[in-house]
Structure 1
């Protein structure tokens, strides 16, 4: 078969990378088309995945609209040449539209209920919408739920083994007590109107007082100047190793929060939204979400409590999560191949 996969975000590279290997090992041709978004292209290069760039999003509302038209047109031209049997994407309304235009099956994966505009533009055109079982909304008659999370496509223990050498160059070792704080730029369409962490200087001080070295990972200009000394620079493909050895994650990034939780790292998530994924991770007592009024004070209190606790068995909580959820790469391969059977 010819399989066309679209990449709109760095996390999508992680999600599909093992499935691409599986498809190719079975003799299928995989064609990757990517947006030049953050470090997505860097990750594709790092993993040796062949791809072509079909554009990037604009910065303003008008720029997004115009760039989206260009992206969809270039993707259509590519698909017309490839003549794919199936198109797969995370979200990606352009992929769903183009699949219809070229007569290909379309499998869309998503775990983000609050991406309401993107979902509305995507779901009616997809042949299947595959979501984790914790997804709270109804995606329609072609909705397929499976027992896993996106993050378990690349962080399941069958797919990922943390390496302490990945911390070389950082001011911590794997055995040190450290906390990772993640700040986002709030530039995504589904981030409009959302908000996360405030009082960062106070938070960092409290984490340090609780005995942790603080490492801050920040998008674009999200980091206040007074905290620039805490910023870390690390190759993007190594960040999961840093999360795996951390004693705490605090952040506004849903992707990195869920990654930390499935790795067994206690996670404090601060955000306006509370999607089904976060609620499900919270049921294993691996993630603690704080939303609405006074979320920052309550989140900081929880973070300090985690650092000072001595009796929490985070690994046993992770093992329970793994027992109830499957390797998501197996799901990707199954659903994509089933689309044309």
Structure 2
């Protein structure tokens, strides 16, 4: 099969990294096209994934439309030459549009209910839309659900084993207790009008009061007074750090969910709740989300309280999660192959089955 994978965010690299490897090993021809966004290209290079960059970063929501149009036009030209059987993506606006023009099959993976612009532009053109079972929107006959989360495509223990050597690389001792704090830039299309922690300085001070070292990761420039807390590590080592942390406080849902599936309690402070953040809290107690009034205070107090609980408790909760949720990479590979093969054999779309 000829398969195109499109990448427009660092998280997309993580999600497709192992499916790309497995599909290639199974004899398929895989082409990866990307748009510059944060460390997405750095990750592709770190994982030695052959790729072509089709467009640069967008500096604002206004420029995003221009960048997206450029990306789609260039993707269409490349895809015409490749004549793919399947085009796949997360979100999948460009993938769905290009595949509909070329009469290729498209399969979109998504887990973000409130990204309504992306879903409005992409879903109508996609052939198959795969979502976690906890996704709270009904899409119709195109939808295939599965018991898992995007993060289990790359952080399932069959795919990832953390390395404790990350502590030394960020200046921590083996027995240091520490928190990772992730601040968002709030520049995404679905972030307009929203915010997370009220006062990052208060956050850092309170965590230090209870004996935690604080490592700060900020999209864009961190607050000037907190520059000393900003750590530097290779982008492909971030998950090692999340696995080693005592607690993670994040304005971003992906980082919070990554910590949770690794067995590190995560505090998610953001007005936007998602199906998977809600499930990780309600079903497994590995993530705690706070929105509305006093979200900053309530989230911070939760972070302080969880570090006092025994580590065995978080390991047990993670073990139950892994027993009930699947290795998502295997699901992704199976869905891509099942979509393409009937088309190759008979020129008809695949039947959608979970």
Please indicate the TM-score interval, normalised by the length of the shorter structure: over 0.9
Shift of 1:57: 4.2
- In the alignment, what sits opposite 1:51? 51
User: Does the CA-based 8 Å contact 1:278-1:289 persist in structure 2?
Assistant: yes
Task: Tell me, in whole angstroms, the C-alpha distance in 2 between the residues paired with 1:309 and 1:256.
Answer: 21
- In the alignment, what sits opposite 1:276? 275
- In the alignment, what sits opposite 2:248? 249
The worse-fitting range, judged by mean Cα deviation, of 291-300 and 185-194 is 185-194
Task: Tell me, in whole angstroms, the C-alpha distance in 1 between the residues paired with 2:65 and 2:251.
Answer: 26
Shift of 1:62: 3.2
List per-residue Cα deviations over 1:36-92 (Å, max 9, x = no partner).
111100110011100001103432343112222111100100111111000000002
Residues 166-245 of structure 1 mapped to structure 2, 5 A cutoff:
166-221=166-221, 223-245=222-244
List per-residue Cα deviations over 1:173-217 (Å, max 9, x = no partner).
443210000011112112222211111111111111111111001
Task: Tell me, in whole angstroms, the C-alpha distance in 2 between the residues paired with 1:304 and 1:84.
Answer: 51
Task: Tell me, in whole angstroms, the C-alpha distance in 2 between the residues paired with 1:268 and 1:136.
Answer: 21
Shift of 1:140: 2.4
User: Does the CA-based 8 Å contact 1:257-1:268 persist in structure 2?
Assistant: yes
Task: Tell me, in whole angstroms, the C-alpha distance in 1 between the residues paired with 2:86 and 2:80.
Answer: 12
Task: Tell me, in whole angstroms, the C-alpha distance in 1 between the residues paired with 2:217 and 2:311.
Answer: 28
Counterparts in 2 of 1:293 and 1:149: CA distance versus 1, 3 Å: same
User: Does the CA-based 8 Å contact 2:36-2:53 persist in structure 1?
Assistant: yes
- In the alignment, what sits opposite 2:88? 88
SS of the residue corresponding to residue 135 of structure 2 reads coil
SS of the residue corresponding to residue 141 of structure 1 reads coil
- In the alignment, what sits opposite 1:66? 66
| RMSD, matched Cα | 1.2
User: Does the CA-based 8 Å contact 1:210-1:308 persist in structure 2?
Assistant: no
- In the alignment, what sits opposite 2:291? 291
Task: Tell me, in whole angstroms, the C-alpha distance in 2 between the residues paired with 1:309 and 1:49.
Answer: 40
When normalised by structure 1's length, the TM-score is 0.97
* Aligned structure 1 segments of 4 or more residues deviating by more than 6 angstroms: none
- In the alignment, what sits opposite 2:10? 10
User: Does the CA-based 8 Å contact 1:112-1:275 persist in structure 2?
Assistant: yes
2:328 is the counterpart of 1:319: no
Counterparts in 2 of 1:187 and 1:32: CA distance versus 1, 3 Å: same
The worse-fitting range, judged by mean Cα deviation, of 135-144 and 167-176 is 167-176
Residues 92-171 of structure 1 mapped to structure 2, 5 A cutoff:
92-171=92-171
Shift of 1:311: 7.4
List per-residue Cα deviations over 1:138-157 (Å, max 9, x = no partner).
12221000011000000000
Q: Which runs of 5+ in 2 are unaligned?
A: 343-354
The worse-fitting range, judged by mean Cα deviation, of 262-271 and 183-192 is 183-192
SS of the residue corresponding to residue 19 of structure 2 reads helix
Task: Tell me, in whole angstroms, the C-alpha distance in 2 between the residues paired with 1:311 and 1:9.
Answer: 32
Q: Which runs of 5+ in 1 are unaligned?
A: none
- In the alignment, what sits opposite 1:35? 35
Shift of 1:306: 1.2
User: Does the CA-based 8 Å contact 2:259-2:266 persist in structure 1?
Assistant: yes
User: Does the CA-based 8 Å contact 1:57-1:68 persist in structure 2?
Assistant: no
Counterparts in 2 of 1:311 and 1:181: CA distance versus 1, 3 Å: closer
Give the length in aligned residue pairs. Answer: 340
Shift of 1:171: 2.3
Task: Tell me, in whole angstroms, the C-alpha distance in 2 between the residues paired with 1:335 and 1:177.
Answer: 41
When normalised by structure 2's length, the TM-score is 0.94
